[in-house]
């Protein structure tokens, strides 16, 4: 079957198996080119199939020669329906890793469930003994509890309504977004889904089962960003969840002190991923940011960010952190000279000037790449096996 992109709202409902494989290959090649580095040897990545989690896994495997275990929530192909991009990415990663003599296994299931936690513990016991690093890189829209209760995360403000510029990506028009404030229940639900409760559950379950090595590290990903996005991000519902995640990093370190576990938050750069495309206001900010960072030669994607995390920030025993004990991979994004330029464009930008002041093409390029489309060297006219 010839597979074409079918874009609906913030997602593409098809994915290209060969393109996704190529995408994974390029990330592996980038990592290999940087050489190997001392680091964790047995790594569990929760949310391992796309975005930051996939890049973390590739870096651990090809940068540190680590055995990797992944957890993802992806859909296989059925009939004429393609699999999700994450499913193809994972297949490509596992095949390549096995060819290269690197241990790689993945569970496709709900990371929030006890069942998946038990399965992972079983595999670690059987195959690896213990893990020395846990990456928590979930971006989930909902969480189902053991009793069947479902919490759904929302992207809203907290307190007041927020109006600001927004990008209609399809029509390349600058419009206005008006984001309503969330109710108490919505805030609570978002914290349940994207906060740290499940991260803590994972760490406790692993520690209690004896499959977490002493002095191991765990890292979860967060975002802060400039004041302009604070109402929708940092001070919005997702930000409330991220504050909970941050507090959880402190709690994990405290509660697993006897085992010498260190938990960190890594504050990453804003990037086009399946999770970030759905946030209002943020895509316009990202297109301007891409433009400015590319001009200054400071642009990075997930794989560049994660290589910097493993090679420069994790350190031996003690990570390189700011005064709040957070790893800052948003250091380039937040440089004053970058932010000043972004803010200047933000104030001036309109539908007429969008192409001079923002990198909309770069946004779409990343967007299509996520689903395995528009990748150099892939012949999209060919029939492919789904």
Site residues, ligand NAI (CB under 6 A): 47-53, 71-74, 86, 110-112, 137-140, 221-223, 268, 270-271, 273-276
| Residue (36 or 113) nearer to ligand NAI, CB | 113
| Residue (162 or 223) nearer to ligand NAI, CB | 223
Q: Is 49 annotated as a binding residue?
A: yes
Say which of 136, 233, 246, 264 is annotated catalytic.
233
Burial 358-377 (b: 16+ CB within 10 A, else e): bbbebbbbbbbbbbbbbbee
CA 236 to chain centre: 19
Q: Is 91 annotated as a binding residue?
A: no
Match 């302009």 to its residue by tokens. Answer: 228
Q: How far is the CB of 184 from ligand NAI (least distance, A)?
A: 22
Q: How far is the CB of 220 from ligand NAI (least distance, A)?
A: 7
Q: Using an 8 Å Cβ cutoff, are 63 and 39 in contact?
A: yes
**Residues in CB range of 319: below 8 A, 6 or more apart:** 217, 262, 264, 313, 327
Q: Is 48 annotated as a binding residue?
A: yes
Q: How far is the CB of 371 from ligand NAI (least distance, A)?
A: 11
| Residue (133 or 271) nearer to ligand NAI, CB | 271
Q: Using an 8 Å Cβ cutoff, are 269 and 55 in contact?
A: no
Q: Is 223 annotated as a binding residue?
A: yes
Q: How far is the CB of 275 from ligand NAI (least distance, A)?
A: 4
| Residue (67 or 220) nearer to ligand NAI, CB | 220
From 307, 270, 364, 328, select the one nearest 27 (Cα to Cα): 307
Rounded distance, CA 169 to CA 261, Å?
Answer: 43
Rounded distance, CA 4 to CA 69, Å?
Answer: 31
User: Active site includes 30?
Assistant: no
CB closest to ligand NAI, residue no: 51
**Residues in CB range of 263: below 8 A, 6 or more apart:** 203, 217, 218, 219, 220, 248, 249, 250, 252, 253, 256
Q: Is 272 annotated as a binding residue?
A: yes
Query: Which residues fall in the annotated binding site for NAD(+)?
Result: 47-52, 73-74, 110-111, 138-139, 242, 271-273
Catalytic residues: 233
Query: Which residues fall in the annotated binding site for substrate?
Result: 223
Query: Which residues fall in the annotated binding site?
Result: 47-52, 73-74, 110-111, 138-139, 223, 242, 271-273
């Amino acid at each position: 079957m010839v597979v074409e992109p079918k874009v609906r709202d913030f997602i593409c409902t098809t994915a290209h198996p060969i393109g996704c494989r190529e995408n994974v290959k390029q990330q592996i090649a980038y990592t290999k080119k940087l050489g190997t580095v001392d680091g964790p040897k047995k790594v569990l990545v929760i949310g391992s199939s796309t975005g930051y989690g996939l890049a973390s896994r590739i870096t651990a495997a090809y940068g540190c020669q680590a055995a990797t275990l992944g957890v993802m929530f992806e859909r296989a192909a059925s009939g004429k329906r393609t699999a999700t991009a994450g499913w193809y990415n994972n297949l490509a990663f596992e095949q390549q890793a096995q060819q290269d003599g690197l241990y790689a296994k993945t569970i496709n299931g709900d990371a929030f469930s006890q069942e998946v936690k038990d399965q992972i513990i079983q595999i670690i016991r059987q195959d690896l003994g213990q893990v020395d690093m846990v990456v928590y890189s979930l971006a989930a829209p909902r969480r189902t509890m053991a009793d069947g209760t479902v919490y759904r995360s929302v992207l809203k403000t907290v307190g007041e309504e927020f109006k600001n510029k927004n990008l209609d990506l399809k029509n390349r028009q600058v419009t206005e977004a008006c984001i309503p404030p969330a109710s108490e229940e919505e805030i609570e639900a978002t914290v349940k889904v994207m906060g740290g409760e499940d991260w803590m559950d994972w760490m406790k379950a692993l520690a209690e089962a004896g499959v977490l090595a002493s002095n191991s590290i765990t890292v979860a990903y967060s975002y802060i960003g400039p004041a302009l996005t604070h109402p929708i991000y940092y001070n919005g519902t997702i930000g409330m969840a991220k504050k909970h995640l941050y507090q959880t990093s402190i709690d994990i370190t405290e509660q697993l002190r006897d085992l010498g576990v260190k938990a960190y938050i890594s504050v990453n750069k804003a990037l086009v991923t399946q999770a970030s495309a759905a946030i209002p206001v943020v895509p316009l900010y990202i297109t301007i940011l891409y433009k400015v960072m590319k001009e200054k030669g400071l642009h990075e994607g997930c794989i560049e960010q994660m290589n910097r995390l493993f090679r420069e920030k994790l350190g031996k025993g003690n990570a390189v952190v700011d005064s709040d004990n957070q790893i800052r991979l948003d250091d380039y994004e937040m440089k004053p000279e970058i932010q000043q330029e972004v803010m200047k464009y933000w104030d001036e930008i309109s539908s007429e000037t969008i192409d001079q002041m923002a990198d909309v093409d770069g946004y779409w390029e990343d967007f299509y790449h996520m689903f395995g489309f528009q990748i150099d060297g892939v012949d999209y006219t060919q029939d492919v096996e789904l």
